[in-house]
Amino acid sequence: MKLFEYMAKDILRAAGVPVPDGRLCAGPEEAAAACRALGPVAVKAQVLVGGRGKAGGIRLAATPEEAAAAAAAILALDIHGERARHVYCEQRLDIERELYLAITIDPSSRRPLLIASAEGGIAIEEVAEKAIVRRAIDLPWGLLPYQARQVAGRLGLPGDLATSFADIACRLYRVFRGRDAELVECNPLAVAAGRLVAADARCNVDDDALYRQEDLPRTDEATVLERRVRALGLAFVQLGGDIAVMANGAGITMATIDVLQRCGGRAMNFLDAGGGAAAGPTAAALEALLSTNPRAVLVNIFGGITRCDEVAAAILDVRARGALTVPLVVRLVGTNEARGTEMLRAAGIAAFTSMREAAERVVALAREPLG
Amino acid sequence: MGILVDERTKVLVQGITGRQGAFHTQQMLEFGTRVVAGVTPGRGGREVAGVPVYDTVEAAVDKHGATAAVLFVPGALARDAAFEALDAGLSPVVVIAEHVPLQDGLDIAAFAAARGAALIGPNTYGLCTPAGRAKLGIPPGRIFRPGRVGVVARSGTLSYEIVAALTEADLGQSTVVGVGGDRVVGMSFVEVLKRFAKDDETQAVVLVGEIGGTAEEEAAEFAKGLDKPIVAYLAGAAAPQGKRMGHAGAIIERGRGSFESKRQALEAAGVRVASLPWEVAPLVAAALGRAG
């Protein structure tokens, strides 16, 4: 779960990291009021997607009138497909220098990782590798102040800034651990009036740990359909093609989408019905898929624990309710395969054992003219 | 015979009285796995499929000399259960659960490393050495056949698909290992490949990777010095950037983890990369034909 900038900054502020004074504003009038209280401000779109600056989502305002105009303009923007519902008006900083500082994970060493750079303000993947300092952090001890001071030294920070940098890094690390974050990032970590301040902040929280972060605010990037299918407990992502896909297991679902592409088709979605999914959720997920008007549907099941006859029963159930309005192709292999295949064939639904044949067939069906 | 587990492996099942734990204990026993004891706190004294249940891992290990653990506990409880198994000196410790909090995964991995134990998972189907009748986890037993091909994978059902195709092509397996679909997992592709490299029974390796992270690139680096043929299949060629494809670790983010990066790294290391799942078995057959 990504947090909006203002949420991340609230967390950092509470952790003792210096952040500029700011107000969350729902419209131009509130932005003007914020400017009256704070003086010149940066008006910033609160969106979860990256790259808002380039998309015009950050504007400077010296007067309340300018702040109101900036807020109105930003709230009308489409920022990479996302629309801000709030702007964050923040006291303008006189930035002398921009650094980068983040705590995330290093999957290859299985440790938390501090990433810092003397070149901040741009995406870290665009910074030259030699300008980046990485320091893996040992558990259970965590980031120790001397380690953070070493990093500051490597960045070439002078005395006072180095001390402050190390202090901020240790605080970020505590947020990373204590808030179950996947990423805590200050980009830029700015030098303004000779002090370090988190000019922008990002905090991505681990979805699997939300149960124990009850006091954190919640955000949701999912589409309406994604929410509907995820509510069934299934992993779902919308993709944009015209062939609806349901498979069991993340890897085989990805592979199914790849195979469709290779066969000249395009998947509408990623839907992992899970290993051993029961007939009820399977039918509900299939109905949700059908509600989005695909040209055809491909169900690809390699039943380890999943029983093929249960999958067939779920499909026949959906059909009996009249929801099956487009061609459906099923590939069924595994436990009770023969029985499941026969149930479907008897009902006139194509059932294959080969993934290749099923994919070729569904692509052909999706290409047929409508009607 | 195979790596990590064999017919001598005495398995402890944590969470044995739960629905999944009980079902898969029965399945593991039917496969021939030596499941010697189970643990569920507060349920000591019962039996599941004839296997005695204890309240603590310590008591179960004392009584039955278990050497390895399989955890059928939910993600939120995995940290405590894994620490308990590692503290008792068990290895490998197989964490089946999905949705283990990332910070807990980091802690478990750190403790496993400190104890010198092999950690498999989280978010894995487990592992299987067919010739040793040792299956620790949830894969369907019927797909395996003893043989000379080592398989290491991130995804479960995709592994089953490919292992079943190998078996059908008369290409049995030495050991099949699911390293897990999470961002932080215990044994990596490289660590499993190192074991396959040293294993006389293993003559070829199949690596089933997917988008996200850099485990495949690291495996490619290791593969350069390996004298056994490797065939890889990678899932996620059509996956968009920034979307999590089911597995927590299957996401192309911040410019890393793309399909192309992995394919190129593996091919540059001499690994044959199948572009469709059903091409894996023929490529393995060809590689073994050439090698032998």
Give residue for tokens 């405590």: B80
Return the residue of A nearest to B241 by Cα.
A239
What phi-psi label fits residue B83: left (phi over 0), alpha (psi between -120 and 50 degrees) or beta?
alpha
pLDDT band at A274 (very low <50, low <70, confident <90, very high): confident
A38 CA: distance to closest CA in chain B (Å) = 34
CATH for the A21-91 domain, from 3.40.190.10, 3.60.40.10, 3.30.1490.20, 3.50.50.60: 3.30.1490.20
Please check the confidence at residue A230 and state whether its pLDDT lies above 90.
no
Cβ contact, residue pair A252, B157, below 8 Å: yes
Cβ contact, residue pair B139, A138, below 8 Å: no
Per-residue pLDDT, A55: 92
Please check the confidence at residue A102 and state whether its pLDDT lies above 90.
yes
Q: Encode pLDDT of A11-63 as tens digits.
A: 999 999 999 999 999 999 999 999 999 999 999 999 999 889 999 999 999 99
A37 CA: distance to closest CA in chain B (Å) = 37
Cβ contact, residue pair A356, B210, below 8 Å: no
Per-residue pLDDT, A277: 60
For chain A, domain boundaries = 21-91, 95-212, 224-367
Per-residue pLDDT, B292: 41
Beta bridge partners of A236: A271
Q: Encode pLDDT of B55-105 as tens digits.
A: 999 999 999 999 999 999 999 999 999 999 999 999 999 999 999 999 999
What is the percent of chain A with per-residue pLDDT over 70, rounded to a whole number? 98
A-chain CB neighbours of B106 within 8 Å are 105, 110-112, 139
B-chain CB neighbours of A334 within 8 Å are 140, 160
B289 CA: distance to closest CA in chain A (Å) = 25
Residues 6+ apart with CB under 8 A from B287: B204, B229, B231, B272
Q: Encode pLDDT of A141-167 as tens digits.
A: 999 999 999 999 999 999 899 999 999
Site from B157, B158, B188 to mutate, A interface, most A CB atoms within 10 angstroms: B157
pLDDT under 50: residue ranges of chain B? 291-292
- Residue ranges of domains in chain B, CATH in brackets: 10-120 (3.40.50.720), 139-291 (3.40.50.261)
Q: Which of the residues A5, A66, A90, A185 is marked catalytic?
A: A185
Q: Which of the residues B24, B64, B99, B247 is marked catalytic?
A: B247
Burial of A213 (0-12, 13-18, 19+ CB in 10 A): middle
**At B223, which helix (H) or strand (E)?**
helix B215-223
Examine the residue annotation and report whether A100 is marked as an active-site residue of this protein. Answer: yes
Pairing of strands A328-334, B126-129: unpaired
Please check the confidence at residue A346 and state whether its pLDDT lies above 60.
yes
B-chain CB neighbours of A122 within 8 Å are none
Per-residue pLDDT, A334: 81
Pairing of strands B173-178, B204-210: unpaired
pLDDT band at A229 (very low <50, low <70, confident <90, very high): confident
Please tell me which of the candidates A105, A237, A275 has its beta carbon nearest to residue B157: A275
Number of Cβ within a 10 Å radius of residue B218? 18
pLDDT band at A278 (very low <50, low <70, confident <90, very high): low
A-chain CB neighbours of B256 within 8 Å are 125
3-state class (DSSP) for residue B237: coil
Q: What is the interface pTM, i.e. ipTM, of the complex?
A: 0.92
Examine the residue annotation and report whether A211 is marked as an active-site residue of this protein. Answer: no
Query: Is the peptide bond between B240 and the residue preceding it cis, with omega within 30 degrees of 0?
Result: no
Domain A95-212: CATH class, spelled out: alpha beta
What is the percent of chain A with per-residue pLDDT over 90, rounded to a whole number? 71
- What one-character DSSP code corresponds to residue A274? -
What is the percent of chain B with per-residue pLDDT over 90, rounded to a whole number? 89
A-chain CB neighbours of B161 within 8 Å are 252, 255, 302, 355
Cβ contact, residue pair B138, A275, below 8 Å: yes
What CATH code is assigned to A224-367? 3.40.50.261
Cβ contact, residue pair B155, A180, below 8 Å: no
Over the range B234-265, which residues count as b (16 or more CB within 10 Å of their CB) and which as e?
Answer: bbbbbbeeebbbbbbbbbbbeeebbbebbbeb
Per-residue pLDDT, B289: 87
Please check the confidence at residue A276 and state whether its pLDDT lies above 80.
no
Please check the confidence at residue A304 and state whether its pLDDT lies above 90.
no
Determine which of A138-147, A164-173, A312-321 has the lowest per-residue pLDDT on average. A312-321
